[in-house]
A and B are shown apart, each in its own frame.
Chain A
């Protein structure tokens, strides 16, 4: 019975990992690739670590480590994806040619990387350094 549950978690996790890698390879631009790897990759890794925790059920040390790994993956994957996507947007990585809308276009001040409010016009004569922090 335990073997069945562990196998289920393991195979589903590996499947999600495979879907993440497939999305990374096949998606057309950087944000979509991030979307694929962050969510499916974190879910797949979490499921596989859950399988390990179930196999050694009752061992508190293993359960604590498994929980720590899962919490860590779930906490850090979105942060890393956000940072990479932000960096890619700043250096001008091209988006997909069929992208309908880029809401950040002309909102970012390229010099100090400050996001302007809606309706606020980007002006070159005001550096706006004091708004950076």
Chain B
């Protein structure tokens, strides 16, 4: 029962990762790509949650926590870069 739903969740998240990657590639502006990167980080947290369930090793939750923190800092840094002179998409 749980194995089946773990497998289905893996499949759903993989499809979602593919869709996000398409947006990362075609995203017309730099902020769109930053949004896609943020979404990829959230999806990775989901993957780690599933893998924690399927493997039983709860130490992976620490990885998820650090990953969420890093993704937030990356988003803040990207926003600052875009605002302070990184706007290369229209010039």
Residues of A within 8 A of B (CB): 3-4, 6-7, 10-11, 13-15, 17-18, 20-22, 24-25, 30, 33-34, 37, 41-42, 44-45, 48-49, 51-52, 55-56, 59, 61-62, 65-66, 68-69, 72-73, 76-77, 79-81, 83-88, 90-93, 113
> What is the number of residues of chain B that contact chain A, defined by CB distance less than 8 Å?
52
Interface of B is mostly: helix
**Contact A18 B16, beta carbon cutoff 8 Å:** yes
Number of A-B contacts (CB under 8 A): 180
CA distance in complex: A61, B61 (Å):
10
**Contact B16 A20, beta carbon cutoff 8 Å:** yes
Q: Of A15, A51, A84, which is within 8 A of B35 by CB?
A: A84
What are the residues of chain A within 8 A of B12 when measuring CB–CB? 11, 14-15, 17-18
**Contact A87 B83, beta carbon cutoff 8 Å:** yes
What are the residues of chain B within 8 A of A69 when measuring CB–CB? 45, 61, 64-65, 68
Could you show 23 A-B contacts with beta carbons less than 8 Å apart? A25-B23, A33-B35, A37-B39, A41-B42, A44-B46, A45-B46, A45-B49, A48-B50, A49-B45, A49-B64, A65-B61, A69-B61, A69-B65, A72-B72, A79-B76, A80-B38, A80-B71, A83-B75, A86-B83, A90-B87, A91-B29, A93-B32, A113-B83
